[in-house]
Amino acid sequence: MTEKFQIAGRIFESRLLFGTGGFTSLQVMGQALSESESQIATVAMRRVDPLARGSILDVIEAAGCDILPNTAGCYTAADAVLTAQMAREALDTNWIKLEVIGDDRTLFPDGPELIRAARQLVEEGFVVLPYCNDDPILARRLEDAGCAAVMPLGSPIGSGAGIRNPYNIAIIVEGASVPVVLDAGIGTASDAALAMELGCDAVLVASAISKAKDPIGMARSIRLGCEAGRLSYESGRIPQRLYALGSSPPLELDD
Amino acid sequence: MRLVVNGATRELPETVTLNSLLSEMGIDQPRGIAVAVDGEVVARGTWDRTRLRDGQRIKILRAVQGG
């Protein structure tokens, strides 16, 4: 059993946050969500479609998960702030995964807009979890702005390219006094394990599960990867060496 | 009067409230839905007494799948 972690005073046993995007059916999503054992699931806010059937909220609540709305699709601080305010009204939560995107090719966050939105939302009493670049200085600025966690990307959203700059993630972890949640880029269980071994407090995974050949199997696999990685981190890996260091006693020589 | 609802123009009678606009649009389940009028969120409890005026921009969002 690994340590629990907390965000804004709320304690979680699962270190895997579940992104609900990309599933072909709510039924598969529900099964994957339950297999992931996640306690937090994200939703996006979009223009209402009166013809849409089935409620994602029912599926998330049936799994006993907290709902974490995001501001995906916003390109300016003003847009993100309004979307967050609407999410709070719609879902009765002051938690927000803050996304302010710089362009649609990379979906990389726009740092200055992100900080502007974060400051305003913190002032309005939100628990702000910003999706940010793997930039230790930006992460520090977001923490200074009062964010409850920082969520650096491993690689671009949906790329499945893993953690492209593990050194920066390690620097962010070292400097942060709020939880670090690796968001975006996880492709498979070993990516999640690496994030945890680097000392991240949690990971957020969407496409790697929702777009896998077997989303339910992948939900389990990534959950186990997360648990294994965290256990390794807490157990303390041995230092890496250039040369061998024998693990059997030296052989006694009789001349 | 003319309103812009989620980016599309709509012709409506002068007396419309936010509630009647929503039911006309077939939105009978307010769960997971939020409304902003001219960029300001309107609390759910006041939808039935919020009168809409010509030229206003209404944004209606709902929670959907998304990472």
Which spans in A65-154 are helix H?
77-91, 111-123, 136-144
State the count of interchain CB pairs (< 8 A) between A and B.
105
pLDDT (tens digit per residue) in A99-136? 999 999 999 999 999 999 999 999 999 999 999 999 99
Question: Is the minimum CB–CB distance between A131 and chain B shorter than 8 Å?
Answer: no
pLDDT (tens digit per residue) in B29-41? 778 899 999 999 9
**Nearest CB to A55 within list B32, B36, B61:** B32
Give the pair of three-digit tokens for residue B38: 């001219």
Confidence at residue A1, expressed as pLDDT on a 0 to 100 scale: 60
Instruction: Check if A213 is active-site.
Output: no
What chain B holds in terms of domains, given with CATH numbers, is: 2-62 (3.10.20.30)
pTM of the model: 0.91
ipTM for the predicted complex comes to 0.92
pLDDT (tens digit per residue) in B2-24? 999 999 998 888 778 899 889 88
Give the pair of three-digit tokens for residue B3: 């309103």
pLDDT (tens digit per residue) in A31-52? 999 999 999 999 999 998 877 7
Q: Do A86 and B36 touch (CB under 8 A)?
A: yes
Taking a C-beta distance cutoff of 8 angstroms, is the pair A98, A128 a contact? yes
Contacts of A15 (CB under 8 A, 6+ apart): A2, A5, A196, A201, A202, A203, A226, A227, A230
**Nearest CB to B64 within list A43, A82, A157:** A43
List per-residue pLDDT tens for chain A, 255 residues long. 678 899 999 999 999 999 999 999 999 999 999 999 999 999 999 998 877 766 899 999 999 999 999 999 999 999 999 999 999 999 999 999 999 999 999 999 999 999 999 999 999 999 999 999 999 999 999 999 999 999 999 999 999 999 999 999 999 999 999 999 999 999 999 999 999 999 999 999 999 999 999 999 999 999 999 999 999 999 999 999 999 988 888 888 877
E strand or H helix at A41: strand A40-47
Confidence at residue A54, expressed as pLDDT on a 0 to 100 scale: 66
Report the gap between the CA of B66 and the closest CA in chain A (Å). 4
CB contacts, 8 Å: A72 with chain B: 66-67
Report the gap between the CA of A172 and the closest CA in chain B (Å). 22
In this structure, the strands spanning B33-37 and A181-183 are: unpaired
